[in-house]
Amino acid sequence: MTQCFLVRPTPLFRESYLDALREGLSVGGRRVYGAMEIAAVEQNFEGHLAGLDRDGQSPVAFGERMLPSVPANAFWLIDGERFIGGITIRARIDTHLLARFSGHLGYGVRPSMQGRGYGKRQLALALDICRGMGIGIARLSCDVDNVASRRVIEANGGVLLRQCAPSWFAEAAYLLYEIPLI
């Protein structure tokens, strides 16, 4: 790790970001984009960047269901000139699904950069942003078998709230954490 920092999504890191998508960048253990979706991102990169932030006004498709949305902002972890990972911060989690089963943050590190401390650094930087937004306790979740994510969360002060069983929105059991920020 050289000079890591979070930035708002920008065309400056277009090629590195697309390479990460091709590698299989995932958030929460799920592959984000298939080949057709990556091609669409390449064709309309500016539109894709605009779509990374959500204003909370439109429902979000989750499988076959449409769920209420909340405001969310995307940030990218950059090391030097390379896209390393992405993290989304939800300004509030006032929907049943987010409050009880998900949380304020969702993140991922490109496969070729995993196991090098980037996830821990990315979450630490995002928690500073959460503090600035007035979030007193950040909530987040990870799959039970995602040991790396558990370590990232716990290294940043995560306190385990409970283990949750699989359900219609989660194929596997997962853990719900809180990180006090005050």
Tens digit of pLDDT for each residue in 116-165? 999 999 999 999 999 999 999 999 999 899 999 999 999 999 999 999 88
Q: How many Cβ atoms from other residues are within 10 Å of residue 57's Cβ?
A: 9
Give the position of tokens 């002060």.
157
The sign of the torsion formed by the CA atoms of 159, 162, 167, 173 equals: positive
Using one digit for the tens of pLDDT, what is the confidence trace for 98-114?
766 678 898 999 999 99
53: its two tokens: 């932030």
Taking Cα atoms as reference points, which of 100, 101, 95, 103 lies closest to residue 68? 95
Q: Which domains are seen in the chain, by residue range? A: 4-135 (3.40.630)
